[in-house]
Structure 1
Amino acid sequence: MPFGPGGAPDILARIMARHFPAHARGQQLIVENRSGAGGTIGAAHVAQSRPDGLTLLMAEQGSAALAHELYQDLPYDPRRSFTPVIWLVDLPMVLVVRPGLGARDVPALLEQARRQPGSLSYASVGVGHMGHLAMELLQRRAGGGIQLLHVIYRSGGDIMAALVKGEVDMTVASYSSAQAFLQSGALRPIAVTTAAPLAELPSVPLLSETMPGLTATLWYGLLGPAGMSRDLVTEINAVFNAVLATPELRETVRQQQASDPVGGPSERFAEHLRREVAQWTPVVRAAGGRVQ
């Protein structure tokens, strides 16, 4: 299971590995970190593997749905090189602003941006990441001359520190990365990007209340190489649905990520992938998103 080290996928995969043998007739799940190039190094390895179910990818938006728009000379096609196995988790994101920013909600933020084009900045960890795409989509939907300055930082931790210092005005971050800063009052949430209210932030409105239909989440799922048999996909899907139902995994995901495992049949994940490609491809193109 190749992917980059650290963060939500690493935590999720290692919990899954502990419970996997109980559901897979004694087999073991080996977590192999192959980081780099926005997850495309690990994705390419899986795409070029035999479709025997022994090599799977912990995938997310960039490597699984948008890499063909973000990278030149990509050694695989996200739309054709994989077999969807299971949708693992869908993680909420929060629009967070620095403490000294005058705007207290999204309409006020957009009004300030219209009055002073280019004066407000937002941070992300790079072109094509959800923090970037969510803000680009917000600008497109808002219209009316909204121009926000995009500032790239090396990590989510660097972004949080920059916000606290007032170096940048806002970001769209996962709830887990912003949680400690929100609880301490060091940063202020003004909207959540999920389709339903977030229980952990009950007083924070949905972004879709200002921008109808605008939602953005971080998701992870398992993909295998193209050409896996239907019977094999069904068997692996059943194993991982059983793993997702374990109390330890469900409790950890809820406590650390403010979410619940998704699961379900492989067709559910395949349809989700199609929707993600349809929603985010125009945003990447409009933003001129090429990483190299």
Structure 2
Amino acid sequence: MNRRTLLAATGGLVALAGPARAQWKPERPMRLVVPFAPGGAADTVGRLLAEPLGAALGQPVTVENRPGGGTTIGAVNVARAAPDGLTLLYATPNVQILNPHLMRNLAYDPQADFTPVIAVLRAPKLLVVRPDFPARDVAGLIAHGKAKPEGLTYASAGVASSGHLAAAMFGQMAGLEMLHIPFRGTAPATQDVMAGRVDFMMDNIATLLPLVRDGRMRALGVSTAEPAVAAPELPPIGRTLPGFHDASFNYILAPGRTPPEIIGRLNAVLNTILDSPPLTSRFAILGIEKLGGTPDALAAMVREEHARWGPVIERGGIRIQ
């Protein structure tokens, strides 16, 4: 995700945020905690939302980076904050969906310690191989993997990363023997796939599509149930592997027990921001789907994804110590 490209839209978003109908108004500056280091995708989108949110509510919103512990450090910070609407968490699936399956002793209650505010975005993944890889499509990759006595190898940005879990689910559903090769980040993982040292990988479309467009990788399919807006020519993996679908999604949480009138105001303002043309156009360029909607819809999505990923993680024996 291009940080500079996204932040270029901020000025237009501030003007478009507009007033919300609800009456709650913060009396002090707000914090948006991002549980990752500065410069990454979550940090970039968090900053893109923070300025127009502050403009609409009449108080500045500071992005506070608290990386580490597989998002647990940032999550604990928000879980222990006062439920007054002044502290929010920019969440990824780790916080409530994956960490309860991956970690034996969480320092927070993934449900009781948070109140859903709004779903922000969903990002498809691409399944990619090197340009001269023998398989030309998903069916070919599965056939190639079943024909190899040692099975397939796949790269990821690290153990329990979104790419690791998506590829593990792919292998389980396809009945493949596969060896996971984790790296410290997406960049070195892509290098080894392009060099032919690893068979394939899955990662977010914003990261991999430029490499595909440049001819340095070949995409065999997209992870979402429908074709991606940014690459409509790529078939969904689920057309070959029925039932397969995956997309990373980001969302906003408040501390548990935050009053409904505060959640309602935050939700209304953020829906307006997400519907604004500057943001939707930037998301479209990067292949990202904006979500929005109600807190109840977000809560249902979290429950569904938590139930869906549990068996994948258990079957794969995936754990974070």
TM-score tier (shorter): over 0.9
Confirm or deny: 8 A CA contact 2:116 2:252 kept in the other structure: yes
User: Secondary structure in 1 aligned to 2:270?
Assistant: helix
User: Aligned equivalents of 1:118 and 1:280: distance in 2?
Assistant: 26
Question: d(CA) in 2 for partners of 1:117 and 1:56?
Answer: 50
Q: What is the correspondence of 1:169-208 to structure 2 with a 5 Å cutoff?
A: 169-208=199-238
Counterpart residue number, 1:6? 39
Give the Å deviation of 1:79.
2.9
Q: Residue 225 of structure 1: which of 251, 255, 264 is its match?
A: 255
Q: Could you tell me which residue of structure 1 aligns to residue 49 of structure 2?
A: 16
Cα-to-partner distance string for 1:220-273 (whole Å, 9 max, x where unaligned): 0001111112222111111111221222222222223x1231101111111110
**Partner SS, residue 191 of structure 1:** strand
Map 1:98-247 to 2 at 5 A.
Answer: 98-143=130-175, 146-247=176-277
Give the secondary structure class of the aligned counterpart of 2:87.
coil
Matched, 1:291 2:291: no
| Structure-2 separation of matches of 1:112 and 1:93 | 21
Could you tell me how far apart the structure 2 residues matched to 1:84 and 1:50 are?
15
Q: For 2:127 and 2:169, locate their aligned partners in 1 and report how far apart those are by CA, in whole Å.
A: 13
Contact 2:230 2:285 in 1 (8 A): no
Structure 2: how far apart are the matches of 1:64 and 1:76? 10
TM-score in terms of structure 2 length: 0.86
SS in 1 for 2:278: helix
Q: SS state of the match for residue 78, structure 1?
A: coil
Number of the residue aligned with 1:281: 310
What is the CA–CA distance in structure 1 between the aligned matches of 2:231 and 2:262, rounded to whole Å?
40
Aligned alpha-carbon RMSD (Å): 1.4
Distance 1:209 1:226, change over 3 A: same
Q: 2:230·2:284 contact (CA, 8 Å) conserved in 1? A: no
Q: Which amino acid aligns with 1:40?
A: T
Contact in 2 for aligned 1:130/1:216 (Cα 8 Å): no
1:142-189 deviation line (CA, Å, top 9, x unaligned):
22xx11110001111111222221221111110111122111010000
In structure 2, stretches of 5+ residues that fail to align are 1-31
Structure 2 SS opposite 1:92:
strand
Contact 1:89 1:260 in 2 (8 A): yes
Q: State the distance in 2 between where 1:117 and 1:44 align.
A: 45
Q: CA deviation at 1:205?
A: 0.9
* Structure 1 residue 72 displacement after superposition: 3.0
1:121 aligned partner, one-letter code:
T
Within 2, Cα distance between the matches of 1:66 and 1:162?
A: 27
| 84-93 or 94-103: bigger deviation | 94-103
Q: Which runs of 4+ in 1 moved over 6 A?
A: none
User: How far apart, CA to CA, are the structure 2 residues paired with 1:158 and 1:30?
Assistant: 32
**Alignment partner of 2:68 out of 30, 36, 47:** 36
Partner residue of 2:92 out of 53, 56, 60: 60
State the match for 2:108 in structure 1. 76
* 1:115 Cα offset (Å): 1.5
Cα deviation 1:95-152 (Å, max 9, x = unaligned): 1112231011111111111121434211112232221111111122122xx1111000
Matched-pair contact (CA < 8 Å) for 1:117–1:148: no
Secondary structure, aligned partner of 2:212: helix
Please give the TM-score of this superposition, normalised by the length of structure 1.
0.94
Please give the secondary structure, in 2, of the residue aligned with 1:56.
strand
